Every structure is written in C-alpha cells, then in structure tokens.
Chains A and B, each alone.
Chain A
Amino acid sequence: MKKSIIVFLLSFLACSSVLARSTGCKEGNCDNGYGKWVYTDKTTYEGEWVSTKKQGIGIETWPNGYIYKGEFKNSVWSGIGTLTFPDGSTYEGEWKNGFMNGQGIFTWSDGKQKTGIWKNGKLQE
C-alpha cells in the first residue's frame, strides 16, 4: 500500500513537471514547413518555418492578449502585418525588426485612427 502511494506521488510529480515545461512544436513541422510552437509562458506561434526560424506568414499570440498576424523574417515581425493590442487597438502596416517601421494605420479601441509613417514604433509627425 505504502509503495503504491509513493509510486503514485512520484508519477504525479513527474507528470506535472513535464506539463509545466511543455514547450516546443505541438503541431506540424517547426523546422521547415507549417507548424505550431508553444512557449512556456503560453505564447504561441502558428505559421511557416524555414530552417527552424519563423519565416513567412504566421500568427503570434501572447498570453496577455497581443496578437500579431502577418509576415515574419528571421523569427522577427518584418513585412506587412497587424498587431492587435489586448484592448482591441490595432496597428496595420509595415514592420521591420519587430517594430512598426514604414507606412501604417493605428486604430485606437474607441475608433480613432492615425495614418502615417512609423519609425521604430513611433509615428513621425
């Protein structure tokens, strides 16, 4: 009886530690192709992979509500994409090196909009 309790507890601990560290490719091919990667903090990326890097079109979802849908280059947000903020505000436009860079439209959650040229996340007035 004692033995079975110890075995049960040990297997429970092993399972929970495995689940807690469950990160990696959950679906598809995350080397070359289309796949879904889940990080330890529950951030997910679902999209195209080239040589184990995010490359092409994909969606990155952060646990706190940020969603980027668009182009990736070398695992970084680059190209045309849309970032949705947790409150519903969006930026739709060009990205480079993970930041808003180029032509884009920022729409606040109340509907107010601003169009312009962005440089490293800042609107150039």
Chain B
Amino acid sequence: MLKKNYNYKIKDLPESLKQFIGLIIITLIVIISFSILNGMFGEGDELVKRMKIEEERIAEERKLNKLISSLPSGILVTFDGTDHYKLTDEVYEQVCNATKLIPQRAIMGANFLNFRAHELYTINGNKIDETFVKWDQEKGKCFAGFTVSGNNVGVDESITISGEALSFLSTGIDTRVYFIKNF
C-alpha cells in the first residue's frame, strides 16, 4: 500500500523534475562504479606520480632534441686543438644525456687498449651486449662504455670497456659517441 503511494507520488511529479532526478542517479552510479573500479584496479597516487615522472621525461627529451637539432652536423669535441666544433661545458653535459649510440669505429678504437675485448668482439661477429652513456655528476664528465661477451676458446667471458666520451658525431637527427678515451 505504502509502495503504491510512493509510485503514484513519483508518477505525479513534473516530467522535468523526474528527468533531473534520473540524471543525478545516473551520475551517482557512474561515480560509484568508477570509485569501485579504481579501488580494485587503480593505483591512485602512485599512478599519478608515475605519470608526472613520464611527462617530465618527455619534456626533457623534447628539450634535448631541440638542442641536438640546433648543433652543427659533424664532429663535436670537448678538447682543444682541433678544427671540430667545440662544446661548452653546459652543452657537453646535455649532449651526453641525449646520446645513446656508440658506432663501430668508436668501439674498435676503445678495443685497441684491450686485446681480450677485441678478440671477443671479433669472434662473436662484432656483437655488443649493451652500451651506456652517462654523465658523472661528481667528476663532471661524460662516460661511455660497452660490454662484449661470448665464448672464447671454450670459456664464457664478459668484458666491459668504459672511458671518457671525448667526441661525438652530430648527424642533425641524433648524436653518437665518437671517441671513448680508455687510456
């Protein structure tokens, strides 16, 4: 009887009010559903933090790409006495942070001072396991290196060669480590 009364009361309400109440109910359902889903699968603050870090990384990458495209194409050096483009200390750090690649001749040059690495590199078809280019905040220098590994006369070996990255090649699109001084 009571239920029937409520039904009649609702039916008697003006159409616009009924639509408004419906809209509020739908909105509440959507909000509650999302809250439940977020509680179940969402990572809340952690996700926001990660997104912010990613956004900062993208912004930094864009800044570095802009710098790389503004540099002249060719060899960029950090030392005096050559005809090549000399990097300032500030740009040297930025170029270091933007550089990811180490071409074959730079690897071959670094291998001059490490015969075992050279052997391993040659035996394994000039294959490099990993390369790294990183800025050493403490020393204020850029370091680059690579790891060669493989089987040398029945023995599994892994050798990491690293040294100061003293010159880079700017292609206009990216920069590459051109000279690793490991002596």
A binding-site residues for B, Cβ under 8 Å: 41, 43, 62-66, 83, 85-89, 99-100, 106, 108-109, 120-122
Contact = CB atoms under 8 A, between A and B. Distances in A.
B113 A63 contact: no
Contacts of B142: none
Nearest to B177: A64
22 contacts: A41-B103, A41-B104, A62-B105, A64-B103, A64-B167, A65-B75, A65-B82, A65-B178, A65-B179, A83-B112, A85-B109, A85-B179, A85-B183, A86-B179, A87-B79, A87-B166, A87-B181, A88-B82, A89-B181, A99-B112, A109-B81, A122-B113
B105 A89 contact: no
B114 interface: yes
A121 B113 contact: yes
Interface in B109-141: 109, 112-115, 118
Contacts of A83: 112
Contacts of B183: 85, 89, 106, 108
Given A41-B105, A85-B179, 7 more contacts: A63-B169, A65-B82, A85-B181, A86-B77, A86-B109, A106-B183, A122-B113
B166 A86 contact: yes
Interface string B24-51: 0000000000000000000000000000
- Residue in A41, A43, A86 whose Cβ sees the most chain B Cβ within 10 Å: A86
A109 B105 contact: no
Contact of A62 (B77, B82, B109, B113): B109
